[in-house]
């Protein structure tokens, strides 16, 4: 079932339709983004809660302890930005690389089956972040809200679209 609205603008008639399936699709994107980032939120909370254990694990892997706050901030801040959909493309790409790097640093003892499973988990999560980075901005996002506000400002300034507004600024 879909709801369709017709808008008449002079000689043109524009139809805007929103189906339940489309609304569910948008909601699932937000849910998927939240579930994926929730794993990193949980991980960073675990690092903070067991900071001594995390520091020992990093020391055993040969990673400088000075990087621990950076790791925590990357996971915590990056996951919050993904959930809020703020700079999603860039943050998802960076978190994908970060997650893959963490797998290479901490989980490459493939003789231990647990380490191999943890490495493959990191590869899977990195792949999910890269898929997230590859898609366009979604309807329910801060980035999309900011873009629509910029479009409104351009229209109020007399520009018909981004290209004509840019042409006016350049010339």
User: For residue 57, what are its two tokens?
Assistant: 């694990």
The overall pTM is greater than 0.85: no
Q: What is the pLDDT of residue 33?
A: 82
What is the average pLDDT value for the chain, to the nearest integer? Answer: 78
Gap between the Cα atoms of 73 and 67, Å rounded: 10
Q: Are 70 and 101 in contact (CB under 8 A)?
A: no
pLDDT > 50? residue 15: no
pLDDT classification of 136: cutoffs 50, 70, 90: low
Q: How many CA atoms lie within 13 A of 78 on its CB side?
A: 27
Domain ranges of the chain: 17-140, 141-171
């Amino acid at each position: 079932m879909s709801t369709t609205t017709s808008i008449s603008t002079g000689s043109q008639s524009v139809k805007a339709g929103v189906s339940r399936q489309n609304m569910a699709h948008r909601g699932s994107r937000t849910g998927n983004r939240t579930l994926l980032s929730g794993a990193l939120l949980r991980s960073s909370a675990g690092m903070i809660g067991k900071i001594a254990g995390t520091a020992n694990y990093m020391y055993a892997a040969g990673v400088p302890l000075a990087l621990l706050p950076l790791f925590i901030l990357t996971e915590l801040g990056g996951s919050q930005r993904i959930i809020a959909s703020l700079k999603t493309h860039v943050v998802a790409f960076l978190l994908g690389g970060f997650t893959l790097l963490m797998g290479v640093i901490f989980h490459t003892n493939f003789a231990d089956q647990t380490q191999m499973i943890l490495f493959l988990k990191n590869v899977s999560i990195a792949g999910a972040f890269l898929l997230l980075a590859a898609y366009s901005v979604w309807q329910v996002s801060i980035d999309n809200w900011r873009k629509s506000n910029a479009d409104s400002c351009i229209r109020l300034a007399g520009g018909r679209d981004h290209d004509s507004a840019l042409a006016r600024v350049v010339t």
